Amino acid sequence: MHAASHLILASTSRYRRELLERLHLPFTVQAPETDETPRTGEQPAQLAERLSLAKALAVARQSPQAWVIGADQVADLEGEPIGKPGDLARAQAQLERLSGRTVVFQTGLALVRAADGWQRSIVVPVKVRFRTLSAAQIARYLALEPAIDCAGSAKSEGLGISLLESIESDDPTALIGLPLIALGRILREAGLDPLAA
C-alpha cells in the first residue's frame, strides 16, 4: 500500500484496533464525531449499517484521500436494539433479560474514500444463544469482567464466552466488532489486498 492509500480506522475501540492489526496493513486511528441516536422505527441492522457509514464519512471528510473504515455493532433482540449498558446495574439487568434467549449481533462495516466518492457498506450478523443464567452467575461474571462498554454486556473474547450456549457466524471476528473476512473482501475490491506484494 503506497502513501496515497493511507488507511484510517474511524473508531476509538481498542478491540477494533487490535483486530485490524491482524491484517498487517499500516493504519492510523481517528475518533469519529457521530450522533449514534437511533431513528424512529429504525431496525438494528439498519442502525448498525448507517452508523458504520456515518463514522467513516465523518473522518473521510477531514482526510479525503484516505481510505476510512467505519464499524458499529447493535445487539438485536427480536428487532429491538440493545446497546452498551454503561454501568454495572444496567449490565446486570441487560444480562438477566438476555438469559436463555437468542440475540443477533448486527455488525455494520463501511469503507469509504471521499476524494472519489468510493464507498461500500454491509452488515454481518452473528447469532448468539445465551445460556440460562442466575442473577448470582451474572453478578460474578460482571465482578470479574465488567463489560459495560459492549453491546449485550458480554465479551465473547474473554470470560463472556462462558455466558453463551452457541455462536453462529460466517465471520467470527464480527462478534468482537470488526468482521475481518468481510473487511478483507472490501479492501481487495478497493485494491488494498493485505497479501499483495
The pLDDT of 161-176, averaged and rounded, is: 96
Helix axes 135-144, 88-98, angle to 10 degrees: 130
Q: Which amino acid is at 25?
A: L
Q: What is the CATH number of domain 3-189?
A: 3.90.950.10
What does the pLDDT look like over 5-34, one tens digit per residue?
Answer: 699 999 998 999 999 999 999 999 999 989
Q: Rounded CA gap, 104 and 82, in Å?
A: 10
pTM: 0.91
The catalytic residue among 72, 87, 149, 193 is 72
Beta-carbon contacts of 180 under 8 Å, excluding residues fewer than 6 positions away, are 19, 22, 23, 171, 173
**pLDDT band per the 50, 70, 90 thresholds, residue 2:** very low
150 vs 70: CA distance, rounded Å: 17
Question: For residues 21 and 119, what is the distance between their CA atoms, to the nearest angstrom?
Answer: 22
Domain positions in the chain are 3-189
72 labelled catalytic: yes
110 backbone dihedrals φ, ψ, rounded to 5°: -140, 145
128 by DSSP, 3-state: which? Answer: strand
Tens digits of per-residue pLDDT, 101-138? 999 999 999 999 999 999 999 999 999 999 999 999 99
